[in-house]
Amino acid sequence: MPGAGAERAVLIGIDLGTSAAKILACTPSGANVALESASYPLETPRPQWVEQDANDVYQAAMKTLHGVLADVRLRGDEVLAIGFSCAMHGLLAVDERGEPLGPLITWMDRRSASVADRWRADGTAAKLYANTGAPIHPMLPSCKLRWLSENDPGILERAARFVSLKELFVFRWTGEWLIDWGMASGTGLFDPQTRAWDDYALDEARVAPEKLSKLAAPSTTLRTLRPNVAAALGIDPATAVVLASNDGALANLGVGAVTKGELALTLGTSGAIRTVVDTAALDPNGRTFCYAYDDKKFVAGGPTSSAGAVLNALHALFLEDVPQAERFSTAVALAEKAEAGAKGLTVMPFLSGERAPYWLSELRGGLVGLDLSHTRSDVMRAAFESVVFALATVYDVLRERVGDIHTIRLSGGLTHAAFVRQLVADVFGCGAVLANQEEASAFGAAMLAGIAVAAIADDRAVAALLQPVHAHHPNPDAVTLYRAILARYRDVVAANLPLYS
């Protein structure tokens, strides 16, 4: 356990998200000390390409971290450990010095759709899923690498290695190229059961293991900060830097969904459900993922592309007269006025394709059942219902592997609305809880760092630190009603899938 002075120690969680970096300082008892964020842009130079400047991300995150650490020093606190969370599936080519050779290809990028389609058609996808627990989709670095080998082979020759944003940070801080098992799980190149790179996946992706970082357990702790980095941040070069895990796994820890029967549900820009399991939980049809969670356990679940980004697009279409900053609250107010099921209107929320459980980047959205009686309120109601239905459809698959749940632990910007929280409780038919930590992945990164340096006992101790701010119980009448409405949604999607499969 930490020694003398630990009562003035803080833990830092760094979450490198898709559009923003969030830096959290908290005590080992879970009390927040400082929280700041910095946004950075995404670039779309061609259709289906979604990229990011890795140096922009680094500079924005470092400036924000500097501000958080200044607040920590003003309090007279010491940094006990720093943990990293990062969005999965990004791919960045770097040279021998660690300098980017181009932009980061983000998880949203779909240029490698042809590779994913080909692998699904010839049976490769099924073999890759069985080995890696990662359903085949253009988001995966394995697909991206194969696409590069076929369309830009020069980059494979020039690149010293291919990394994620987290690996770039760790290298710039310590001089070591390391990738934790959680982040490696999101590459489509890693076997979470053996905790090693998978030879078959490497061959299909056409990448040598020497061009990837060294695998390491999430608890791996480094105390070798480069002197210039430590000086710039104002911390001891021997400060513990913990690799931690991916943003999804850390969100589970950050909301306290760490035991059997508990589900973490995120509704932000995208959506996801995840549950922690002791043994690998693979779906025979490859519809849900199974990744490394920490040094021993796994996290199973599925992400959807159908959440905040889709709602924002629909709000822009139907609430064009409303100032952008007021559209979400206006949409919620309109949706609350409409009846459950929106008078027979169903929204297919697949404006940018879909991941779990269909894994079809070509899938598109629509309004089904629209008639002359429908209003904007009905459209908004059906839109909110659809993003929750999308996650409920993933749960249909996950339940076959992990059984029923009794509690959903929430995170993500959409869950700040009471209407959305109650909708989740009614559709899933179980309690939905929002705890007192807004930034689940950043908090999870800080807490896993605390576990790694023995300041916190384990993940259950982290869950015990969290206090519910909002708890919603399912309304029995609404549960019955939504069972029929969800069935209609499933039928609508099933009828449309042949158009895109």
Predicted pLDDT at 501:
74
For residues 14 and 34, give the distance between their C-alpha atoms in angstroms, rounded to a whole number: 12
CA 292, 294, 296, 299 dihedral sign is negative
The pLDDT of residue 7 is 63
CA distances to 2, 110, 400 from 359, rounded to whole Å, are 45, 12, 18
Contact (CB, 8 A) for 422 and 316:
no
Q: Which residues share a beta bridge with 354?
A: 360
Residue-wise pLDDT tens digits, 278-292 = 999 999 999 999 999
Beta carbons of 289 and 302 less than 8 angstroms apart:
yes
H and E: helices and strands count for the chain: 17, 23
CA atoms within 13 A on the CB side of 164: 35
Q: At what angle do helices 376-402 and 418-428 cross, to 10 degrees?
A: 50
pLDDT in tens, 154-187: 999 999 999 999 999 999 999 999 999 999 999 9
Q: What is the pLDDT of residues 303-343, one digit of tens each?
A: 999 999 999 999 999 999 999 999 999 999 999 999 999 99
Count of Cβ atoms closer than 10 Å to residue 81 Cβ: 28
State residue 4's pLDDT score: 37
Running DSSP on this structure, what letter comes out for residue 413? G
Alpha-carbon gap, residue 81 to 219, rounded angstroms: 11
pLDDT digits (tens, 9 = 90+) for 211-241: 999 999 999 999 999 999 999 999 999 999 9
Beta bridge partners of 24: 13, 35
Average pLDDT over residues 190-218: 98
Phi, psi of 106 (to 5 degrees): -80, 170
Angstrom distance (rounded) from CA 358 to CA 1: 46
Does residue 1 surpass a pLDDT of 90? no
- Smallest CA-to-CA distance from 410 within 469, 331, 336, 340 is with 469
Q: What is the token pair recorded at 444?
A: 């999870």
Please give the single-letter amino acid code of residue 276: V
Q: Is the dihedral of CA 4, 34, 19, 292 positive or negative?
A: positive
Instruction: Give this prediction's pTM.
Output: 0.95
334-359 residue pLDDT tens: 999 999 999 999 999 999 899 999 99
pLDDT single digits (tens) 359-378: 998 999 999 999 999 999 99
Task: For the chain, give percent helix, strand, coil, nearest 5.
Answer: 45, 20, 35
Q: Which residue has the tokens 């003003």?
A: 74
pLDDT of 6 reads 53
**Whether residue 480 has pLDDT greater than 80:** yes
Which one, of 374, 419, 359, lies nearest residue 116 by Cα? 359
Q: How far is CA 56 from CA 43, 159, 411, 428, 441, in A?
A: 12, 20, 26, 40, 21
The values of phi and psi at residue 96, to 5°, are -60, -30
CA distance 131 to 191: 6
In degrees rounded to 5, what are phi and psi of residue 463?
A: -60, -35
Name the one residue in this structure whose structure tokens are 């969800």: 486
Q: 262-267 and 271-277 as β-strands: parallel, antiparallel, unpaired?
A: antiparallel
* Alpha helix positions (H), 152-217: 153-158, 165-174, 181-185, 199-205
Residue 479 has which token pair? Answer: 């549960």
Q: Hunting for tokens 């080992």 — which residue is that?
A: 28
- For the stretch 205-214, pLDDT in tens is 999 999 999 9
Span 263-278, average pLDDT: 96
